[in-house]
Structure 1
Amino acid sequence: MTLADLIAQARTALDTAIATRQQEQDALVALRSDPNLTEDAVAARVATRDAADAEVTRRQEALAELEREQAREEEIAALSARTVPAATRAPAYDQVHRVGQDERTYRPDQDRRGAHFERDVAAAFLGDYDAQSRLARHMQEERVERGDQLQRAAGTGAFSGLVVPQYLTELYAPATSNGRPFADAIRNHPLPPQGMVVNISRVTTTSSVDMQSAENAAVTEQDMDDTLLPITVQTAAGQQTLSRQAVERGAGVESVVLSDLYRRYDANLDSKLLNQATNGLTNVATSVAYTDASPTTAELYPKVIEGLAGVEAALTDQASGENLAVMHSRRWYWMQNAMGSSYPLITQPGVVAQTLGANYAERYGNGVRGILPNGTPVIVDNNIATNLGAGTNEDEIYLVDRNECHLWEDPDAPMYIRAEQAKASSLGVLMVVYGYFAYTHARYAHARKIAGTGLVTPTFIGA
């Protein structure tokens, strides 16, 4: 393996470390937006971010050391190839290129296929000053040898095999992702360090209090009892095998793949919270039917109030009052599309009179998007299915108390494995992202969902 190959590997490792550090920073920012966060949780996430930061510094220093070594090797090679001229010789030796005496920057006998030249072109584009210097020296050598040819007015089209294409790697377009808006909005807990089941005790038989029938008579008594709520710890994982050629000869390939795996992990976890069989929100929520052949926002809104009334009735004194309405983006924009002359009879905090709620104009995945007329915050989440109902064209609106939707996550999730030996026989590099999580919306059976033909694919007609 050449020194140039080691430098390429070091650059790839630095890109990966930078991507990991950015992931940790994003997780820290998201955690700090949680009103229920603890100092210990913040300290743990800051420590993880700082560890990733230290890894970036280590990778950066390793790359700089290799680049200094390469520059010194090139300097020694140039010195060894020079012929010292006589003192009275003119013009000065360092003011003219002496082809045949000075060693060429890129020599066919040492790099027959031009790999070093191609690497320097890519590196120069990404800001490598040493590569830019070598390319500039190469162009000066070309002017000495073929200056007359370089002055001709031939365009790049005449040299399609010699003009190297440039890739704007910093502007690569990642695949879109639905992200995890709902997962970020609900109550988050650190996952216990051991075990594959999380158990919660629920009191299902209460004590009792009643009037004493007479003085010195026995007072009422009822033995309390609880029922265990077991919550399975699940494992979400994804992998990607890259060719070693892609890792070592590509520009930032590994960091691009890792970033995409992280995005798929987030979207998968959020989708499971909403749609997973048996325990997903759609399967534990009590349905509030909205059946309408010509649905309107004005007709839908009372169903929202009915659902919220059901949430509070199920929780009573355990209700936190921090309710959420979770809906697909198409439903949120359809509700904004509504026009009308009827307004709620009771004003609400934070809602301007004679409006049907408020839109906060936040971007997708950036927390609360707006509020409904009664002040309920709206979370927009495109992991909500849009193929429900008999016509496979309905979505649903979920109404929950955010503090009774629980998500346990490993503080370090998602974690990353990079394995070279497993695929060594085919020159492959295996990348695996995985994490453990558990969730429940059923500590109290409180969630409601609005479902029915009134939630078919919306038409935007302003009604």
Structure 2
Amino acid sequence: MTLAEMIARAQETLRQAIAARRTAQDALMALRIDPNLTEEAVTERRTARDEADAAVTRAQADLAELEEEQRRENEVAELAARTEPTGNRAPAYDRVARVGAEERTYRQDQDPRGATFERDVAAAFFGDYEARDRLSRHMQEERTERGDQLRAVGTGAFAGLIVPQYLTDLYAPAVAANRPFADAIRQHQLPAQGMQVNISRITTATSVALQASENSDVSETNIDDTLMSIPVQTAAGRQTMSRQSIERGAGTESIVLDDLFRRYATNLDSTLINQSTTGLSAVATSVTYTDSTPTTAELYPKVIEGLAGVEAALLDQASGDNIAVMHSRRWYWMQNAMGTSYPMITQPGVVAQTLGANYATRYGSGVRGILPNGTPVIVDNNIATTLGTNDNEDEIYLGDRNEHHLWEDPSAPMFIRAEQPKVESLGVVLVVYGYFAYTHARYAHARKISGTGLAAPTFAGA
């Protein structure tokens, strides 16, 4: 595990510790207003809160130690670069022995927007051998770190290159819904060849029954399966830029590339939800909520009905890791609710006097909160808001996280920079593309809440 991966893990541990501490504090505050308050109960909740505090402190210290180590590593690397004799050219990537980790050719801390990578791609077309050498080293690094995952991508003509991994997470100024749902579901590596993924599904099960009498025939049903073929799809986008805008502009190419990455992620996620026939909205079984004056309290039983349907469909194949996926307008509308009635059955991690919990995390950061029964909420604005007879409804999706499957090419998204097709007009074509496949229907389990009760919400006071 690299130091950067250790830091990422420590950051996630700290985030979870903070969330646990917040839950413990909420529980303590809720107990203090309980008319049946006992000293023992307060002591128990205070102890839980203090233990959560200590966990936050430990996680914070661990993260600080790793970050200090990373800072020192960067400092030493910069010092080594400054003290290297200028007369000695560094040996080629494949002609030097290494112990431990070596700095990557293209690094986020030195080139966060990928300008160096893009300049090298452009320079390679004009025969710049040093640029070609850097790109070759980058491709070798990718094969070394992810060789078991990546396709055999040639670099001779530099027509298709693997984009440095950190660049796929960059943000351009234009907003995007991105891929909250795609990131939350079960991930698989796309097979190396073929334009479909095949899964065998048992459609006729064996049977067991009570034997009618001694020596009589026992129950027998021939097991049978059906091949489920899932198509591999291609998401792609391009942008033609003038050479003047690239050569005379300031960072224009990197801005366009950043935006293409984000449109790619948004398109993939939207396809998973909205594609006709196979998208989540198309395959989910409807739980209708019809109401001209909807409230969160009236909507919540529909959520429970949907989750009951999910479990009934999966039975022993249910992982129990259910999720609720909704538009941000629906999540905030639910937070707007006020009431005096509380669930009669408490749930782990949820204060009894509240209707779920909001984790106060930003859009696209994973779980945004939990519903009263503990179901995590994923907020995704790729969900349509123009559904229903009046074109103003959205939907809430419920399902088992592990039964929403996404296969992605580990090299995706790929980047092509082509100058020849538009050379007569001094144009440069940038293309971003990738392959993926998905299914929500290995088991027909997903549910969606839909109907007039999910029309555009109004945010009114109690």
TM-score, normalised on structure 2?
0.65
Match of 1:418 in 2: 417
Q: How does 1:168-247 map to 2 (within 5 A)?
A: 174-247=173-246
Match of 2:432 in 1: 433
3-state secondary structure, aligned to 2:227 = strand
Which amino acid in structure 2 is aligned with residue 346 of structure 1? Answer: I
Give, in whole Å, the separation in 1 of the partners of 2:406 and 2:105. 25
Unaligned 5+ segments in structure 2 are: 13-100, 124-170
Give, in whole Å, the separation in 1 of the partners of 2:8 and 2:236. 24
Q: What's the offset of the Cα at 1:52?
A: 4.7
Q: CA RMSD in A?
A: 2.7
Give, in whole Å, the separation in 2 of the partners of 1:59 and 1:454. 52
Give, in whole Å, the separation in 1 of the partners of 2:233 and 2:418. 23
Q: What's the offset of the Cα at 1:218?
A: 2.5
Q: What's the offset of the Cα at 1:314?
A: 0.3
Q: How does 1:47-86 map to 2 (within 5 A)?
A: 50=104, 52-53=106-107, 59=116
Change in 2 beyond 3 A, CA 1:334/1:282: same
Give, in whole Å, the separation in 2 of the partners of 1:460 and 1:265. 33
Give, in whole Å, the separation in 2 of the partners of 1:344 and 1:50. 54
Change in 2 beyond 3 A, CA 1:293/1:58: closer
Which amino acid in structure 2 is aligned with residue 389 of structure 1? Answer: G
Match of 1:114 in 2: none
Give, in whole Å, the separation in 2 of the partners of 1:52 and 1:254. 17
Give, in whole Å, the separation in 1 of the partners of 2:236 and 2:435. 9
Give, in whole Å, the separation in 1 of the partners of 2:215 and 2:350. 56
3-state secondary structure, aligned to 1:177 = coil
How many aligned residue pairs are there? 315
Q: What's the offset of the Cα at 1:51?
A: 6.6
Q: How does 1:1-400 map to 2 (within 5 A)?
A: 50=104, 52-53=106-107, 59=116, 174-400=173-399
Give, in whole Å, the separation in 2 of the partners of 1:275 and 1:290. 20
Give, in whole Å, the separation in 2 of the partners of 1:197 and 1:233. 5
Change in 2 beyond 3 A, CA 1:59/1:292: closer
1:409 aligns with 2:411: no
Give, in whole Å, the separation in 2 of the partners of 1:449 and 1:204. 24
Change in 2 beyond 3 A, CA 1:354/1:58: closer
Q: What's the offset of the Cα at 1:29?
A: 6.6
Give, in whole Å, the separation in 1 of the partners of 2:275 and 2:232. 14
CA contact (8 A) 2:106 2:116 kept: no
3-state secondary structure, aligned to 2:372 = coil
Unaligned 5+ segments in structure 1 are: 1-24, 34-46, 67-171
Deviations 1:149-178 (A, max 9, x none): xxxxxxxxxxxxxxxxxxxxxxx9711000
Change in 2 beyond 3 A, CA 1:50/1:220: farther
Which amino acid in structure 2 is aligned with residue 226 of structure 1? Answer: D
Give, in whole Å, the separation in 2 of the partners of 1:284 and 1:50. 44
Give, in whole Å, the separation in 2 of the partners of 1:173 and 1:325. 29
3-state secondary structure, aligned to 1:287 = strand
Which amino acid in structure 2 is aligned with residue 260 of structure 1? Answer: D
Q: What's the offset of the Cα at 1:59?
A: 4.8
Q: What's the offset of the Cα at 1:53?
A: 3.9
Give, in whole Å, the separation in 2 of the partners of 1:462 and 1:351. 24
CA contact (8 A) 2:172 2:255 kept: no
Deviations 1:80-100 (A, max 9, x none): xxxxxxxxxxxxxxxxxxxxx
Which amino acid in structure 2 is aligned with residue 283 of structure 1? Answer: A
3-state secondary structure, aligned to 1:330 = helix
Change in 2 beyond 3 A, CA 1:293/1:319: same
Give, in whole Å, the separation in 1 of the partners of 2:105 and 2:410. 14
Change in 2 beyond 3 A, CA 1:29/1:191: farther
3-state secondary structure, aligned to 1:439 = strand
3-state secondary structure, aligned to 1:254 = helix
3-state secondary structure, aligned to 1:259 = helix
3-state secondary structure, aligned to 1:413 = coil
Match of 2:451 in 1: 452
Which amino acid in structure 1 is aligned with residue 323 of structure 2? Answer: L
3-state secondary structure, aligned to 2:387 = coil
Which amino acid in structure 2 is aligned with residue 304 of structure 1? Answer: V
Give, in whole Å, the separation in 2 of the partners of 1:400 and 1:213. 40
3-state secondary structure, aligned to 1:333 = helix
Which amino acid in structure 2 is aligned with residue 373 of structure 1? Answer: P
3-state secondary structure, aligned to 1:431 = strand
Give, in whole Å, the separation in 2 of the partners of 1:442 and 1:257. 36
Q: What's the offset of the Cα at 1:422?
A: 1.6
Give, in whole Å, the separation in 1 of the partners of 2:264 and 2:187. 17
3-state secondary structure, aligned to 1:369 = strand
CA contact (8 A) 2:323 2:398 kept: yes
Give, in whole Å, the separation in 2 of the partners of 1:310 and 1:217. 38
Q: What's the offset of the Cα at 1:211?
A: 1.6
Q: What's the offset of the Cα at 1:300?
A: 0.2
Which amino acid in structure 2 is aligned with residue 374 of structure 1? Answer: N
Deviations 1:75-127 (A, max 9, x none): xxxxxxxxxxxxxxxxxxxxxxxxxxxxxxxxxxxxxxxxxxxxxxxxxxxxx
3-state secondary structure, aligned to 2:367 = coil
CA contact (8 A) 2:115 2:251 kept: no
Change in 2 beyond 3 A, CA 1:447/1:296: same
Which amino acid in structure 1 is aligned with residue 271 of structure 2? Answer: K
Change in 2 beyond 3 A, CA 1:198/1:52: farther
